[in-house]
Amino acid sequence: MVQAKTWVLKQHFEGFPKDTDFELKVEQLSEPKDGEVLLEAVFLSVDPYMRPYSRVRMQAGDVMIGTQVAKVIQSNNPSFPVGCHVVGQCGWRTHTMSNGSDITKVLDAWPQDVSLSHALGAIGMPGLTALYGLEEVCAIKPGETLLVNAAAGAVGSVVGQIAKLKGCKVVGSAGSDEKVAYLKELGFDQAFNYKTVSSLEEALKKASPEGYDCYFENVGGPFSSVAITQMKAFGRIAVCGGISLYNDTTPQTGPYPHLQMIFNQLKMEGFLVGRWEHKNEESLKRMLTWIQEGKLKCKEHVTVGFENMPAAFMGMLQGENIGKAIVKV
Cα angle, residue 273 at apex, residues 299 and 65 outer, rounded to 5°:
75
d(CA 276, CA 293): 25
| 291, 8 Cβ separation under 8 angstroms | no
| 146, 160 Cβ separation under 8 angstroms | yes
Please measure the distance between the N-terminal and C-terminal CA atoms of the chain and give it in whole angstroms: 20
Count the Cβ atoms, other than its own, within 10 Å of residue 60: 12
**Which domains, ranges and CATH numbers included, belong to the chain?**
2-121+298-328 (3.90.180.10), 125-273 (3.40.50.720)
How confident is the model at residue 108, as a pLDDT? 87
Cα angle, residue 259 at apex, residues 254 and 265 outer, rounded to 5°:
125
Cα angle, residue 89 at apex, residues 84 and 112 outer, rounded to 5°:
35
pLDDT in tens, the chain (329 residues): 899 999 999 999 999 999 999 999 999 999 999 999 999 999 999 999 999 999 999 999 999 999 999 999 999 999 999 999 999 999 999 999 999 999 999 998 899 999 999 999 999 999 999 999 999 999 999 999 999 999 999 999 999 999 999 999 999 999 999 999 999 999 999 999 999 999 999 999 999 999 999 999 999 999 999 999 999 999 999 999 999 999 999 999 888 999 999 999 999 999 999 999 999 999 999 999 999 999 999 999 999 999 999 999 999 999 999 999 999 99
DSSP string, 188-216: -SEEEETTT-S-HHHHHHHH-TT-EEEEE
Residue type, 133: G
How confident is the model at residue 254, as a pLDDT? 86
